[in-house]
Chain A
């Protein structure tokens, strides 16, 4: 089962399309969660915030219902922010039975959530369930001219209770990029924050942050930035620098490596063609 979320159905349609295509190529069938709703995007940290967890718990109930039919309790998220929110809410209701009881009683039109769903990110599926050796086998294109800087942002790594890797020194995307035959450019800004919803509060903050991250990736020799998060993707591409390097989704890089060009948008294809022409 996978949870798409708002971005994958609007600004990040290419992300969903390529994610499903590359997973299929690797023998993983991603089935869209039935009747999903918005996860809430951000996690509310107040100890008494119960209302703010309702949306995410309802999604977990949907996963419980569908998981029973499929005999599978894993809910895969593709967007980083959905991952963080669903994972943290899942954890909080598992650790706090009173909170879970309150939520279950409030949503009396739904079945009770039992706390058995496991929230994972697509990167973990590729690393742990598929394995990078199998990914290597599917690569049909020479990728060595692509120097990709992995950008993790915040939601996949922090706080450390929900991190998919070492929060200070993650390697999961770097290893994937190398498995694809491209050069992974590890750079010191890889775990930085893209400034998130500051794009609404004060767009200048986001433009400056984006330019800073982009500049750093270039200085370390990258010609493309690879991300997992639709908001990082949007924010990093707001950078106003001329000829700044582009940011794409990791599944787009995979689709290109696997020769699945038909799933890529013309703009993304142009990005790859430009890189190959320049060198």
Chain B
């Protein structure tokens, strides 16, 4: 049943993306959707369709793992975790969203944000 991306997501999370029936509640609940280029429900659809271009979207890095969609998903498939799995696929290829050495005014930023970002946005 699984192929390509949906297989990778399954291996990383145990989630069967084909359970998603595109109700869209994840995108409707997402507090950051307006900053994303692809809304969460479409990300899940693209994984179902094995569309690798989803890995180049900004969305996979913008999701803050707030788990609003997770709580509300009627199919219990945890979109935040799927998005995070896509990010992990990129991270394991060595692709990071930020270069920590290039952050401006580093000393003014709180540690808590820097550590979270280093773990979520870099390898």
**B-contacting residues of A (Cβ < 8 Å)?**
5-7, 10-11, 38, 40-42, 44-48, 52, 79, 81, 153-154, 157-160, 167-168, 191-193, 195-202, 205, 208-209, 230-231, 234-235
Contact = CB atoms under 8 A, between A and B. Distances in A.
A10 B121 contact: no
A48 B117 contact: no
Contacts of B80: 45
Interface of chain B, main secondary structure: helix
A196 B110 CA distance: 11
Interface stretch (B19-27, B47-55, B65-73): B65-73
Given A191-B68, A196-B64, A197-B117, 19 more contacts: A41-B112, A41-B119, A42-B65, A42-B119, A42-B120, A45-B81, A47-B11, A154-B65, A158-B67, A159-B67, A193-B32, A196-B66, A196-B116, A197-B120, A198-B35, A205-B32, A209-B31, A230-B112, A234-B110
Contacts of A195: 31-32, 64
B32 A158 contact: no
Contacts of A46: 12-13, 84-85, 88
B109 A198 contact: no
Contacts of B120: 42, 197
Nearest first, the 4 A-B pairs at minimum CB distance are A193-B66, A154-B66, A158-B67, A200-B117
Given A154-B66, A160-B71, A234-B113, A45 B14 contact: no
B46 interface: no
A38 B111 CA distance: 10
B68 A158 contact: yes
Given A40-B115, A40-B119, A199 B65 contact: no
Contacts of B113: 196-197, 199-200, 231, 234-235
Given A7-B111, A205-B35, A209-B31, A197 B71 contact: no
